């Protein structure tokens, strides 16, 4: 979802090196994507298959995933990766940068998503005899189900809406002239994380809600995406603004140490969301700066990580449904939890590979063609003016 990048999000696109313009993949970022997707899969599969019955062994796998909240760690890592990567695909110096960016992102996200809606509705609703009607189905196709109070075909769709919020935030920063100003990115990241903190503090003191915890956490997630972009430009790649560099380090320390330590003193460690958030940030920091994994296995899993993330619930819910229809003493219902986890990971990776090849890649290529067409259409008036000018000069 570039081996080197000059200035990061909010930096001048003219300074971006050719390697970034070529849209090369960062192999260690693919590794992080793979790990994040597998952490989410771990949490979901372990929570589901531990319910097969008392004969399931290896329950520590479920307890570990729940205690550390592997799913949240994976999602936080995904958000930071989006910040690390997405803004670099916007090139303000080129014609029609906003339109081409949004077209490419649309066709990157939606084809696989559209496929997941009927499969998700089948695996998590219809197969179990649960109602999921035409209205719910159609609203899900728009990805706006959370805004309309409609249940998702799959519960993880909310993260895709956050992704699109970040895309639109990048567009707004470009429109208001702040895309090339990293200090504006830093200030916005600070404002968003402080808004989240203020809501949590207000709720802790009064027991009432201000903007609400759901909205507050979305602001926190957007702040992390901005931080991911700034970490690339002014920490990993040592941008030329020392104030931004210090701000990035301060924000990282806030998430890694100050916030989890402070909240643990006040509310304890149980159900403390700041701890998995800190672990997600730690995983990201280690993956981009200390242990840069570059393996063929993680290259592959990173490439298919979006489909792995989307379709693993389809795989494990169908498998779970089938197993629950076997006798309670069946050997298939009394395996080690690690067996179910490995089997689901293997099957989900296979499904993800097929979806990536037959759905994601054609969608990406279509998006690129449409974006090129949009740029040509956008520049047609400039071409006409230039041709007229040449005609007048002869």
* Predicted pLDDT at 377: 87
Asked if residue 375 is part of any domain, the answer here is: yes
Asked if residue 196 is part of any domain, the answer here is: yes
* Predicted pLDDT at 394: 37
pTM (2 d.p.): 0.90
Number of domains forming the structure of the chain: 1
* Predicted pLDDT at 204: 84
| Distance, CA of 112 to CA of 310 (rounded, Å) | 8
Helix (H) / strand (E) containing 183: helix 182-206
State the Cα angle at 198 between 160 and 242, rounded to 5°: 80
Please give the residue range of the domain that contains residue 155.
13-393
Asked if residue 5 is part of any domain, the answer here is: no
Picking from 253, 332, 307, the residue whose alpha carbon sits closest to that of residue 116 is: 307
Q: Which residues is 378 bridged to in the sheet?
A: none
Q: Mark the ranges of the chain whose per-residue pLDDT is less than 50.
A: 1-24, 381-389, 391-394
* Predicted pLDDT at 380: 57
Asked if residue 6 is part of any domain, the answer here is: no
Asked if residue 171 is part of any domain, the answer here is: yes
* Predicted pLDDT at 138: 97
Asked if residue 52 is part of any domain, the answer here is: yes
How many Cβ atoms are within 10 Å of 228's Cβ, its own excluded?
A: 27
How many Cβ atoms are within 10 Å of 199's Cβ, its own excluded?
A: 20
Asked if residue 1 is part of any domain, the answer here is: no
Asked if residue 106 is part of any domain, the answer here is: yes
* Predicted pLDDT at 25: 66
* Predicted pLDDT at 379: 67
Residue 336, phi then psi, degrees to nearest 5? -65, 140
Picking from 125, 135, 151, 229, the residue whose alpha carbon sits closest to that of residue 186 is: 229
| Distance, CA of 208 to CA of 88 (rounded, Å) | 40
* Predicted pLDDT at 388: 45
Task: Please list, in sequence order, all residues whose beta carbon lies within 8 angstroms of the beta carbon of residue 95, skipping any fewer than 6 positions away.
Answer: 375, 378, 379, 382
The sign one gets for the Cα dihedral 19, 251, 167, 375 is: negative
Token pair, residue 32, equals 């992080």
* Predicted pLDDT at 210: 83
Task: Please list, in sequence order, all residues whose beta carbon lies within 8 angstroms of the beta carbon of residue 328, skipping any fewer than 6 positions away.
Answer: 53, 55
* Predicted pLDDT at 240: 86
Mean residue pLDDT across the chain: 90
Spell out the SS3 assignment of 289-346.
HCCCCCCHHHHHHHHCHHHHHHHHHHHHHHHHHHHHCCCCCCHHHCCEHHHHHHHHHH
């Amino acid at each position: 979802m570039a081996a080197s990048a000059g200035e990061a999000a909010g930096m001048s696109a003219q300074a971006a090196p050719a390697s970034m313009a070529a849209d090369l993949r960062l192999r260690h970022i693919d590794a992080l994507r793979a790990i994040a997707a597998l952490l989410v899969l771990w949490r979901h599969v372990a929570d589901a298959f531990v319910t097969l019955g008392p004969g399931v062994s290896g329950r520590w796998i479920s307890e570990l995933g729940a205690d550390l909240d592997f799913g949240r760690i994976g999602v936080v890592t995904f958000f930071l990766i989006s910040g690390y990567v997405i803004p670099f695909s916007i090139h303000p110096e080129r014609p029609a940068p906003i339109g081409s960016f949004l077209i490419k992102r649309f066709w990157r996200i939606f084809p696989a998503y559209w496929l997941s809606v009927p499969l998700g509705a089948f695996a998590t609703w219809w197969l179990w005899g649960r109602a999921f009607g035409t209205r719910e189905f159609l609203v899900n196709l728009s990805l706006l189900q959370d805004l309309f109070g409609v249940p998702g075909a799959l519960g993880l769709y909310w993260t895709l809406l956050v992704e699109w919020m970040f895309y639109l935030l990048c567009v707004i920063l470009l429109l208001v002239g702040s895309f090339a100003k990293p200090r504006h990115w830093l200030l916005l990241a600070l404002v968003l994380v402080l808004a989240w903190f203020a809501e949590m503090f207000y709720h802790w003191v009064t027991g009432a809600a201000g903007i609400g915890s759901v909205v507050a956490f979305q602001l926190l997630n957007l702040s992390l995406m901005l931080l991911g972009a700034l970490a690339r430009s002014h920490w990993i790649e040592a941008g030329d603004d020392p104030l931004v560099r210090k701000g990035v380090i301060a924000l990282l320390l806030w998430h890694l140490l100050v916030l989890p330590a402070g909240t643990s003193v006040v509310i304890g460690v149980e159900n403390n969301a700041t701890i998995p958030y800190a672990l997600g940030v730690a995983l990201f920091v280690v993956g981009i700066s200390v242990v840069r994994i570059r393996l063929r296995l993680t290259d592959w899993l990173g490439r298919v990580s979006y489909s792995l993330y989307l379709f693993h619930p389809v795989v494990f819910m169908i498998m779970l449904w089938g197993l629950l229809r076997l006798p309670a003493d069946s050997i298939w219902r009394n395996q080690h939890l690690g067996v179910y986890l490995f089997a689901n990971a293997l099957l989900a990776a296979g499904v993800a590979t097929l979806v990536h090849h037959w759905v994601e890649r054609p969608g990406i290529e279509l998006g690129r063609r449409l974006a090129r067409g949009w740029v040509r259409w956008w520049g047609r008036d400039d071409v006409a003016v230039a041709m007229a000018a040449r005609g007048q000069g002869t």
